[in-house]
Homo-oligomer: A and B are copies of this chain.
Amino acid sequence: MSPARTDHDARRHDVSEAVWRVLAEHGFAGLTLRAVAAAMGASTGLVTHYFGGKHELIAHALDILETRTRQRPRLEAPAIGLPALRTHLLDILPLTPEGVAMNRIWVGSWDVALSDPALFAAQATRYERIRAVLRVAIEDAQRLGELPGRADARRLATTALSFTHGLVVQALFAPERFTPEHQTELVDDFLAGLAADADQST
């Protein structure tokens, strides 16, 4: 790789870092070429070298978001059933500073995604995929007698994801109240509620 190429890649990485910092602090509403340049201590001209305009900047922001979400450190998932479901839910929540930044950016991205057909479709597919993952854990838990066998696993997956996403929003708006411990307690209460229902049916 030529030095020029390496410089280019390094600079590209710096730009992505700056986009992330701007998003975490100011959201999509504050994501401008000028703000990214300021976050890098560079000229707006340099940033326009990478992005033609706001639309490309947003597209790049969502790419970073998707990549970082995929690559984020996760709790080690227990193989199956209710503990796996618990881990999946906790992995979504803003329990660390990085998790707060990531969730803040995801929540902020909904405004843009709801009005852009391609982003809308990508987001819809994403939720479908997460619900499918939760559903597998729920079906395993049902087979193991940890969750009520009579419940509709697909609906329960939707309910679990709804609970978790709504908790993300409340936690972002009241971080002092929603400590990592409190968020974890709420998840455990939620799961205990589902499991208590199972005790009854078996």
Contacts and interface: CB of A to CB of B under 8 A. Distances in A.
Copies of this chain present in the complex amount to 2
A114 B123 contact: no
Interface string A142-164: 00000000011001001101111
Interface in A78-113: 104, 107-113
A136 B194 CA distance: 23
Interface of A: 25-30, 58, 104, 107-115, 120, 123-124, 127-128, 151-152, 155, 158-159, 161-170, 172-174, 185-186, 189-190, 193-194, 196-197, 199-200
Contacts of A163: 159, 162-163, 166
B165 A127 contact: no
Contacts of A25: 115
A22 to B, nearest CB: 10
B115 A30 contact: yes
Contacts of A26: 115
A103 to B, nearest CB: 10
Contacts of A112: 27, 29, 111
